[in-house]
């Protein structure tokens, strides 16, 4: 009897294909373009975020805490996502939801960014990375 197992062979085959597909320039370009589009959203959300009262020690903490996540999550073949929002510990974590309900800073930031600037940045970055071949 041989040690041939069709499931093992199939697993090796699909993992090789996945490795090849993730090393494609278009896949890398998608990731870089996604990060660039997320930066546009961060800028817009920070512009709409409330600063806080003058006498507050934590004045501007919410605005400073808005970032994109470091990790890009893979949603499928060639599909990725990145989180954008207040990423902080301490007092900001306690009141960020309430501030979003009152001021809608993330929603307004998304609305402004999605009116063309985010898509433009994505397309521009994607095409430049493909042209460079990285």
14 within a domain of the structure (yes/no): yes
Tokens 């994109």 locate to 68
Residue 1 in any domain: the answer is no
Question: What's the domain count of the chain?
Answer: 1
For the chain, the straight-line distance linking the first and the last C-alpha, in angstroms and rounded, comes to 47
Is pTM, for the whole model, over 0.85? Answer: no
Domain residues for the domain of 85 are 6-132
Note down pLDDT in tens along the chain; length 134 residues.
Answer: 555 444 444 444 455 555 555 556 677 888 888 898 888 889 888 888 888 766 677 778 888 888 898 888 888 777 788 888 888 777 777 788 888 888 888 888 888 888 878 888 888 888 888 888 75
């Amino acid at each position: 009897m041989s040690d041939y197992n069709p499931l093992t062979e199939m697993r090796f085959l699909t993992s090789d294909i996945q490795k090849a597909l993730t090393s494609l320039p278009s896949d890398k370009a998608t990731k870089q373009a996604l990060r660039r589009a997320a930066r546009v959203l961060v800028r817009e959300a920070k512009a709409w975020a409330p600063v806080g009262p003058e006498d507050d020690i934590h004045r501007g903490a919410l605005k400073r805490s808005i970032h994109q996540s470091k990790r890009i999550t893979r949603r499928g073949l060639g599909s990725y996502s990145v989180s954008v929002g207040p990423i902080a510990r301490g007092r900001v974590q306690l009141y960020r939801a309430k501030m979003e309900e009152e001021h809608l800073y993330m929603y307004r930031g998304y609305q402004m960014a999605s009116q063309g600037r985010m898509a433009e940045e994505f397309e521009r970055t994607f095409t430049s990375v493909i042209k460079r071949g990285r």
